[in-house]
Amino acid sequence: MAFEKDGQFKKFCAYGFLKNLRFFEPFMVLFLLGAGLSYLQVGLLYSLRMILQNVLEIPAGIVSDALGRRRTMITSFVFYMLSFLAFYLSGKMPGFVVAMAIFALGEAFRTGTHKAMIFEYLKMKGWESEKVTYYGYTRSWSQRGSALSALLAAGLVILTQNYRMIFLFSVIPYLLDLILIASYPKALDGKTMNIRFSDIGKNFKEVLSDFRYSFENPLMLKTIANSSIYSGYYKALKDFLQPVIKSLALALPILTLQPNETRSAVLVGIIYYIIYRLSSLAARNSGKFSLRFRSLQMALTLSIFIGAGAGLLSGLFYRFHIPAIAVLFFVAVYLVENLRKPIGMGCTADLLEKDILATALSAASQLETLFGAIFTALLGFLADRFGLANGLMAVSLLLIVLTPIFIIRKSRTKA
């Protein structure tokens, strides 16, 4: 190991740990449903967040160039904390829309900025060759934060008997993270430039141009669609695991004298803790998984069928009131996403020329958001009309039907 685990390394690790103490995440859907929202309204809120984040990333990036990375990150965390307070104070759809929009703004300012600071530090220290290992170490602390967050969140719900309070408690780690980022050295700010609002329109045009070029290039379109469609499906389904876990908690003959919130909180905390630990293992073993197939393209395509099949079976077992098996297949949807992410990056790099790789990654991000927004809104609509179980099955079947369109048949290798 060529790099030193110095004070800044510890700060980078602490950042990821604190940032992932999002106590509200395992209970977000339960909180919104408990506030009287329908599944469709919940789905639309999540779709709104995805679309706004993508749209706002362009002006946020330009503002970031003027503020510098540290101030940009601090601004991001201010938006996050305002969002938590807005969720705590809101009780109806309009208030939740405002809270979700502020949250999307925080995400837009944060995305990619901290990673750029890490790479800047490695460049300053001459440790650039160690970027994968170095980033892997800091990333592992983020996963630990997620796992611990699930257990702490469950404890908070049990103590307060109120989903709403977890938004207030979420302010604490984010305030600590804001203070931590303020202590980063100024050298990590990067070059700052004056804001030119004309660049916003120009950057939007570039993104649209990348998207249009992707649709005109059949190989690129299939490559990025194959990689993005499952991520969009995963984003749509992942938080709807919460009502399924609640059903399981109420069906189990444990803690029967406790309030329903306590029973569901215990199981939500345990299951999400297990999910985050298993997801970390899945990502680490993605390479071994891909070696079981003749090509990365085959691994990527078949993994869609595996994940969609798991989602379909989860809905089926939930439909027949067997929530324990439904939860197991739902967990598989999470694990497949973590297996696929590294494979998708490798497949994109293998199939496409280096000079269009950046264009492909930009278009893939947009397409992932588009798929996610459509699947989430559709799932919400179907869950309201036909029940969550049937909604899960229908969306999973749709993914299975769409997948053959994006199968990559042409194989190319790097020069």
What proportion of the chain, given as a percentage, has pLDDT over 70? 82
Q: Give the integer Cα–Cα distance in Å for 73 and 224.
A: 29
The runs of H, that is alpha helices, within 217-322 are 218-237, 241-251, 260-284, 286-290, 296-319
Give the mean pLDDT of 370-382: 94
Structure tokens at 188: 């990590």
Options 1.20.1250.20, 1.10.3720.10, 3.30.56.10, 1.20.1070.10; CATH for 7-196 is 1.20.1250.20
At residue 297, the pLDDT reads: 74
At residue 197, the pLDDT reads: 59
CB 389 within 8 A of CB 315: yes
Q: Which residue has the higher pLDDT, 326 or 1?
A: 326
CATH 1.20.1250.20 in the chain is located at 7-196, 217-415
At residue 100, the pLDDT reads: 96
Q: Give the integer Cα–Cα distance in Å for 112 and 108.
A: 9
pTM: 0.83
Q: Which of 1-10, 72-81, 221-230 has the lowest mean pLDDT?
A: 221-230
Residue type, 160: T
Q: Which range among 128-142, 151-165, 192-206 has the greatest average pLDDT?
A: 151-165
At residue 195, the pLDDT reads: 60
Q: Which of 41-45, 282-286, 352-356 has the lowest mean pLDDT?
A: 352-356
Q: Which of 93-107, 227-241, 329-343 has the lowest mean pLDDT?
A: 329-343
Q: Say which CATH architecture domain 217-415 belongs to.
A: Up-down Bundle (1.20)
Q: Give the integer Cα–Cα distance in Å for 4 and 286.
A: 27
Q: How far separated are the first and last CA of the chain, in Å rounded?
A: 30
Q: Residue 1: pLDDT band by 50, 70, 90 thresholds?
A: low
